[in-house]
Amino acid sequence: MNKKAVVLLSGGMDSLLTLSMALNSGYYVYPLHLNYGQATEPKEYECFNNILKYYGLNENLIVDVEHLRKIGGSTLTDANMQQDNADIPNSYVPFRNANILAIATSWAEVIGASALYIGASEVDYSGYPDCRREFFDAFEQTIRLGTKPDTHITIETPLIRMTKADIVNKGIELAIPFELSWSCYYSNDEACGECDSCKLRLKGFAAAGIKDPIKYKKNIYL
């Protein structure tokens, strides 16, 4: 029987590549999708489902993390907040990745998975503290001490040292369906091209010399 991995699949380009890399490493993959009240959840949910179909994956878990919406404190979960340009931009959802990894660990422990895959990168860095490898190392230690003695779960971050251009190039190599992914923080139809996430994605495609197949309202590289 194949070893099992829970893969965090938002529907973005990074999580799509991460899923493909987990499959490539021989894992039987359990995709986990979180709705935490982000403005683009309808589009992300559509992408999540299309990616499952593309790879023929059956098992999955969708969790409505309503508390991150209730708690607020981020432009992604509170429509009344305006985007700023601080070192840690206020699109940061407080401690979001710990909430996501706690859910993933609970599921992994029940189904007997030995790895969690998450598509975080430190290089084209968002500034979010919970996207750094040292955070994931600390969380691994928390898993070791907070689960049963015979539960062994690692956190795999295969994109952690990749630039967005590296991610695009690796995606081409693994023939991932970029057109089924979504990165824009604020729009559900055409990507805005102006939010931090759109800018990073467009920069990655430009650096790789490849055209992004999704549509943009504005693309400074064209």
Binding site for its own copies (CB under 8 A): 61, 63-68, 70-73, 88, 92-99, 101-103, 105-107, 109-110, 129-130, 132, 134-135, 138-139, 141-149
Distance CA 188, CA 214 (A): 12
Identify which of 196, 11, 208, 168 has the alpha carbon closest to the alpha carbon of residue 91.
Answer: 196
CB of 63 to its own copies, least distance (A): 4
31 close to 102: Cβ distance less than 8 angstroms? no
> Nearest distance from residue 206's CB to its own copies, in Å?
31
Residue 82: C-alpha distances to residues 67, 75, 136, 213 (Å) = 21, 6, 29, 29
Q: Work out whether strand 61-64 and strand 115-117 pair parallel, antiparallel, or are unpaired.
A: unpaired
If the CB atoms of residues 151 and 169 are measured against its own copies, the closer one turns out to be 151
Residue 115's SS3 state is: strand
Among residues 33 and 164, whose Cβ is nearest to its own copies?
33
Minimum gap (Å) between residue 31 Cβ and its own copies: 14
Cβ of residue 65: shortest distance to its own copies, in angstroms?
8
**Nearer Cβ to its own copies, position 19 or 155?**
155
State how far the alpha carbon of 30 is from the alpha carbons of 12, 73, 101, in Å. Answer: 17, 30, 14
CA nearest to 167, candidates 222, 110, 210, 104: 210
Least Cβ distance, residue 130 to its own copies (angstroms) = 4
Please identify, using beta-carbon distances, which residue of 64 and 173 lies nearer to its own copies. 64
Looking at the Cβ atoms of 57 and 81, the one nearer to its own copies is 81
